[in-house]
Amino acid sequence: MGKYEKDAEQLLKDIGGKENINTVTHCATRLRFVLNDLDKADKEAIDDIPSVKGMFTNAGQFQVIIGNDVATFYNEFKEISGVEGASQEETKSVAQKNQNPLQRAVGALAEIFTPIIPAIIVGGLILGLSNVLGGVEFGGATIVERSAFWAAINDFLALPSEAIFQFLPVGITWSVTRKMGTTQILGIVLGITLVSPQLLDANEVASTAAADIPSWDFGFAQIDMIGYQGQVIPAMLAGFLLAYLEIFFRKHIPEAVSMIFVPLLALLPTIIAAHVVLGPFGWWLGEIISNVIFAGLTSSISWLFSFAFGLLYSPLVITGLHHMSNAIDLQLIASEVTNHTTSLWPMIALSNIAQGSAVLAVIYLHRGDKKEEQVSIPAMISCYLGVSEPAMFGINLKFIYPFVAAMIGSGFAGLFNNFMDVRANSIGVGGLPGILVINPQIGGGYLAFTISMVIAIVVSFILTIIFRKRGIFNKQDREEPEPAIAADAAASGSIDLSSSEEGTTASTKDSKAKSEKLFAPVTGKLLDITAVDDPVFSQKMMGEGYAVKPTEDEIYAPVAGTVSSVFETNHAVGILTPDGAEVLVHMGLDTVELKGAPFTVNVEENDQVTADTQLAIMDRRAVEEAGKQTDVLTIFTNGDKIGSLSIEDKDEVVAQEEIGKVEVY
């Protein structure tokens, strides 16, 4: 009998049998299924399988987390099920086909906006600082009015701010070509033609008389010379037309002359169409969307609109539909009717705060549960800083009642926020830092948003406690979790934990622990594992660990030991330490799809390694161009043998530098 034969048989049964499997493949840590009917998978039964560490659904794929030994499990599963494996690309393609048109459209929006969100966040922070410097009066005058130095700083900050928001179409057209796999420099050139200084700035069109708008006069026709600064829809339409034309001409033009004619025949017609048809149509459509949403936010039933948006935004995150809000927010910011502001983004920031506050209440209710706190505390912090997925999927949806409490808290906070007409100048800065992008000169400004945050925190926290105490929306959480009882009893002196059976076991276990030194696998920024943008790692489903966002390509061993495995796609290496810690060195996120191209592995199985051993070289540029993140993760996958993990508190680390230790039993 194989090592995982029994578990593989159980998984095949619980997943709905062979007939329910469309495709299956695996990466470094998990099996990736595309199922014919997701509802046939018995998730509770799958979760009880000993070798399964967790599961989730993403982009049409049902992913079952196994761990380092996933390749062995996968091979045994294939033998038992008789299902032939598929490549990552084939699985991804089938998963997209199983999605409905709305899911595919939302997925496309997410892939377009995700790469440019970091720039938008930076732009939002800069605008927030500019708001304080030039928009808030202190003693009758602003900071820039009082200080020549800060006035100069404010003017200088306009450079990156303008580059990000005025020239946003360049980023969008580039991102579209990147997503479609076409020539990215053509996307950049197309974007520049939409914001060229030769054109009338989009922000000046409304204040310019029709007779004064410049135009190209072709004799038989005239075309207005209007720019599309900050516009979203015109740039997206033009970007997709360029991509589809390039794909079409690639197929029909001989390769010998394709370098000349494909770019010419794709780019030139797109530029013409962008200024004659797509630009004006996209502008018109964008204004309609902006006007409808703005009317909803300012109508007599705006209270209902804002409450519903605040209430339902978190469920939208679960479905992935929240990605549509990025395009809507940016369109609102580009519109004259809204004074280049958005009312939606403040409510999104409040939703993050509400979910984080519900987790805070769960931490209070479950105080003393050290194992849960390892997930809940980092999830709460991430939520307050604008990343809600760890809190929602790791804690709130598990118990249901905190998720519903946060929805209600977000709804009331959004209602008050809209009643006070609070608006943001930008998007991208969520959670508590969201106050930095609030416009201080429209509506209630900073004070009103602060009150909205207090509402989100207080209502969500109190309702979470009430729902748990009264059993409302509560299907699995006990009235008094044992760790909380023990903590309270210990605090009152009625129980001596040190003399309990559990305390004795822990003490004995500690006495057998051995310490292993930990090293930085690469030079770069040291990250807490909970900050990694992958729920499998950030929620510690694979185990404890740490990560480094690299600034160099050379990857070294983070521990001394023996190489236990080198993954076929070269993106991950397994190491077994002398004291028995199983360590996974994972290069990049979701990089299994790159089929090993950016990685050169310099070790083989059974090689002895130390911190001086160069495991691999990762071509960071190639990874980034493929749309993947470059984080290098060090994960301890056999949690039953891992005790405390101690990592130094520092921002930057150098490869091979000792940065901490781990206790191994």
Q: Which residues are catalytic?
A: 27
On whether the CB atoms of residues 24 and 86 are closer than 8 A, the answer is yes
Helical axes 168-180 vs 148-165, angle rounded to 10°? 40
Phi and psi, residue 601, nearest 5°: -90, 130
Q: State the Cα–Cα distance between residues 70 and 347, nearest whole angstrom.
A: 41
> Which residues share a beta bridge with 519?
658
Q: State the Cα–Cα distance between residues 373 and 369, nearest whole angstrom.
A: 6
Best CA proximity match to 363, nearest among 376, 375, 379: 376
Residue 632 three-state SS: strand
Q: State the Cα–Cα distance between residues 426 and 363, nearest whole angstrom.
A: 32
In this structure, what token pair is assigned to residue 235?
């740039």
531, burial (CB in 10 Å: exposed 0-12, middle 13-18, buried 19+) = buried
Beta strand extents in 531-625 (DSSP E only): 545-550, 554-556, 561-566, 572-576, 582-587, 599-601, 608-609, 614-618
On whether the CB atoms of residues 68 and 574 are closer than 8 A, the answer is yes
On whether the CB atoms of residues 338 and 294 are closer than 8 A, the answer is yes
Q: State the Cα–Cα distance between residues 345 and 575, nearest whole angstrom.
A: 45
- Greatest alpha-carbon pair distance for the chain in Å reads 96
Q: State the Cα–Cα distance between residues 645 and 636, nearest whole angstrom.
A: 10
Return all residues near 4 (Cβ < 8 A) that are at least 6 apart: 51, 69, 72, 73, 76, 77
The Cα-based distances of 296 to 293, 300, 307, 308, 316 in angstroms read: 5, 8, 12, 11, 19
HSE (side-chain half, CA atoms, 13 Å) at 476: 7
Q: State the Cα–Cα distance between residues 348 and 326, nearest whole angstrom.
A: 10
Is residue 33 left, alpha or beta, with left meaning phi > 0 and alpha meaning psi from -120 to 50? beta
On whether the CB atoms of residues 392 and 314 are closer than 8 A, the answer is yes
Q: State the Cα–Cα distance between residues 424 and 430, nearest whole angstrom.
A: 11
CA torsion, ordered 289, 292, 297, 301, to nearest 10 deg:
-150
On whether the CB atoms of residues 455 and 414 are closer than 8 A, the answer is no
